[in-house]
Chain A
Amino acid sequence: MKKFKKFACVAMASAMVFAMAGCGSDGSGNGSGSADATSFKIGGTGPLTGGAAAYGQAVQNAAQLAVDEINANGGVNGYTLELNYQDDEHNAEKAVNAYNTLKDWGVQIVLGSVTSAPCIAVGDKTKDDNIFQLTPSGTAVDCTKFDNAFRVCFSDPAQGTVSAQYIGENNLATKVAIIYDSSDPYSSGIYENFAKEAENYSFEIVSAEAFTEDSKTDFSVQLQKTKDSGADMVFLPIYYSEAALILTQANGMGFSTTFFGVDGMDGILSGVDNFDASLAEGVMFLTPFASTSTETNIVNFVSAYEEKFGETPNQFAADAYDGVYIIKELIEKSGVKPTDDVSTICNGFKEAISNGYSFDGLTGKGITWSADGEPNKAPSVVIIKDGVYQQL
């Protein structure tokens, strides 16, 4: 028995060492461009399993769709694109592991991460390696803290600020109540910036009720307080699944008011099972992308996505699809080659993106970037009328 244990120890230790060494052999190409040199390697991390998997999968699917389209149309400057998405389980630690896996694969451009906390952790590493990072949907400010990182979506402060401006400038309300998820950085980030910006406008914040990840099924307490505060508008900087519950429960207690959401609200009409979509009538929200739009490029994207993956694309998918095309145009503009090392590609992209580059895509027209990584694009607000989104 003793001997066996000893034997097992030795066996396990040697197995580990071999495993490590085995990984090393295929990881040596990292940093010096891919060996075959006919394709650019785009990598990203996102939650492909677990609670946030819907977002990661949307990004992965849409990015794959864009890459396939580009390759089918002859690639970029004669080179093809290759996409590799790794699961980060919406966890900063796993995201770093996933990113290291991508490095072993030979990643040259990072399209990620999908969610904020993993994106910040990965951003720290891409800065060290000087790899260009474009996050489709990492909204926290710190996601683009370093000069190699840019984003496609609005940041949290931008969404909070823009929402407050929109409500204030259009005099939509006088008393605003907020229900937000205090355990979610996205939601609390928007809430804070909304509250900050609201001081500059005539409307008043009469209540701010929080819930957490562990208590997101029963909102009766928050709704009762909101109702008692006499609010004529409720701001919901949360995702659609919770928003649907809030709308249902508010209806159940006979509380009718105007609801205003942010881009997380996208998906409320079709994303929730057993949700009476008529309750969402009159809900307004800020979104860069509406899948019901009649613009040709959006119609084409939506039908291609639906055909391939069997579901309607959400805002995450649109951001990722745009992200791939932004990378394509940056490759064309900077003239980098797959044989260049990652630093050259990164520097070429950085120069290209901040020098008068503008992008027309699904999530906005004429988007430009400043050196701090933030996109400049016009926000758009939609209202749900007769079961479809209508631009305001």
Chain B
Amino acid sequence: MRMMAAKIKSNKVLRSNLITFGMVIGVYIIVQILVAAGAVSSLVRGLLVPLCTYAILAVSLNLTVGILGELSLGHAGFMCIGAFSSAFFSKCMQDVIPIAGIRFTIAILIGALTAGVFGLLIGIPVLRLKGDYLAIVTLAFGEIAKNIINMLYVGIDESGIHFSTRNSLELNLSGNGVVIIQGAQGITGTPNDSSFTVGILLLLITLVVILNLIHSRDGRAIMAIRDNTIAAESVGINITKYKLMAFSISASFAGVAGVLYAHNLSSLSATSKNFGYNMSIMILVFVVLGGIGNIRGSIIAAVVLTLLPELLRGLNDYRMLIYAVVLIAMMLFNWAPSCIRWREKIVYKLKSGKKHTKGAE
């Protein structure tokens, strides 16, 4: 035990990771106790799953933006792919697999896999290039994904799955066939399988995978590419391979977040609000505010920025105005050089103050 404690103390990375895990598990336990005691409002209870969703999104995007050093503006697109593929599966299999646990596990895998494959497909041509091409292509990808799903009609009957891009009549379904994806109306009636516990589990899995990746040999290679591509190439690192690895893992966790999102609401439609450009920027804001490359910061930023507009509901019409002002203030407080200097000064004063009192004793 003492050896472990010593190891934790000496190993900075391990300590930092443990703090991150401890924070998530601690919040989970506190919330569960509060829920059991009936001290949590319906609003916050309803927000628990979205909080996990956005935390996963922020952590996964941080892998691309912070660790790989590439800008992605289409993270909501991967979330959209994960959401629709898994909701489609769950809706089809609702009667075939009645046990929610098994069905949801498969749905999560499907969501992660589909989003990961799309990440790979986009990454293969784009990540070979130098410059901001990934930002441009992912931006387009997000919009294309949203628009394609909006025009897609998919139905199912005894003879199999039918597709159409015009309307549900052209699916030619038999009498007992059902339309599953109905164009812009999306998927309705997805089983409500998401729960806070599942959300926290998925967040922990995301953290384990991404934190381990960052601190592994592969992760060091990825960061070497970020810091100096030419130097990394000269020591024999396969640039495209490592870039693709980071990007597709990031995409597949966005897919997982999408699965969680889709199974939390009974109506899923691809609008610009939930899967469009605005959402991608929102996730990027979580990452930037939490600190590029700082995983724990992303989680905190995602949670704070998702809770804030909801807790400000009491202000009615001024809600969005105050939200924007608070966002700007937080950005400045966290990242403006003069603010950082001011904070350091305060911390220094507090520290020296403490020493003084200790010395006097």
Contact = CB atoms under 8 A, between A and B. Distances in A.
A378 interface: no
Contacts of A242: none
Interface of B: 19, 23, 26-27, 30-31, 34, 38-47, 50, 143, 147, 150-151, 166-169, 183-186, 188-189, 192, 261, 264-269, 271-274, 296, 300, 303-304, 307, 310-311, 313, 317, 319-320, 343-344, 347, 351
Contacts of A196: 169
Contacts of B351: 3
A3 B44 CA distance: 30
B234 to A, nearest CB: 34
Interface residues on A, range: 35 or more
Contacts of A140: 185, 188
A20 B34 contact: yes
Nearest to A184: B184
Given A3-B351, A13-B27, A182 B184 contact: yes
B35 to A, nearest CB: 9
Interface string A120-159: 1101100000000000000010100100000000000000
B310 A192 contact: no
Interface of A: 1, 3-4, 6, 9, 12-13, 16-17, 19-21, 23-28, 30, 48-50, 86-87, 89-93, 96-101, 103-104, 116-118, 120-121, 123-124, 140, 142, 145, 181-185, 187-189, 191-192, 195-196, 208, 210, 212-214
Contact of A100 (B42, B150, B304, B320): B42
Contact of B184 (A17, A86, A92, A183): A183
Contacts of A214: 143, 147, 272
A93 B274 CA distance: 8
A30 B38 CA distance: 11
Contact of B167 (A25, A184, A195): A195
A323 to B, nearest CB: 21
Contacts of B271: 90-91, 117, 213
Contacts of A192: 167-169
Given A23-B311, A97-B310, A192-B167, A92 B45 contact: no
A121 B183 contact: no
Given A3-B351, A4-B347, A9-B296, A185 B269 contact: yes
Would you call the interface of chain B mostly helix, strand, loop, or mixed?
helix
Contacts of B317: 48-49
A6 B22 CA distance: 12
Contacts of A27: 41-43
B185 A183 contact: no
10 contacts: A20-B34, A24-B41, A48-B317, A49-B320, A87-B313, A93-B274, A117-B269, A120-B266, A183-B184, A185-B185
User: 4 nearest interchain CB pairs?
Assistant: A23-B41, A27-B41, A120-B267, A124-B266
Contacts of A98: 313
Contacts, number: 165
B38 A24 contact: yes
Given A23-B40, A191-B167, 16 more contacts: A17-B27, A17-B31, A17-B34, A21-B39, A24-B38, A27-B42, A28-B38, A48-B317, A92-B267, A92-B274, A104-B43, A140-B185, A142-B267, A182-B183, A182-B184, A183-B151
Contacts of B27: 13, 16-17
A16 B34 contact: no
A293 B43 CA distance: 42
A24 B188 CA distance: 31
A206 to B, nearest CB: 15
A101 B313 contact: yes
B294 to A, nearest CB: 9
A188 B184 contact: yes
A125 to B, nearest CB: 8
B39 A124 contact: no
Contacts of B43: 23, 27, 97, 100-101, 103-104
A100 B169 CA distance: 37
Nearest to B308: A19
A49 to B, nearest CB: 6
A335 to B, nearest CB: 28
Contacts of A101: 42-43, 310, 313
A27 B44 CA distance: 10
Contacts of A20: 31, 34, 39-41, 44
A103 B43 CA distance: 8
A50 B320 CA distance: 10
B306 to A, nearest CB: 10
B26 A182 contact: no
A188 B151 CA distance: 10
Given A1-B347, A196-B169, A212-B150, A21 B184 contact: no
A103 B274 contact: no
Given A90-B273, A96-B265, A23 B44 contact: yes
A88 B317 CA distance: 12
Nearest to A107: B42
Contacts of A185: 183-186, 269
Given A26-B41, A96-B265, A212 B167 contact: no
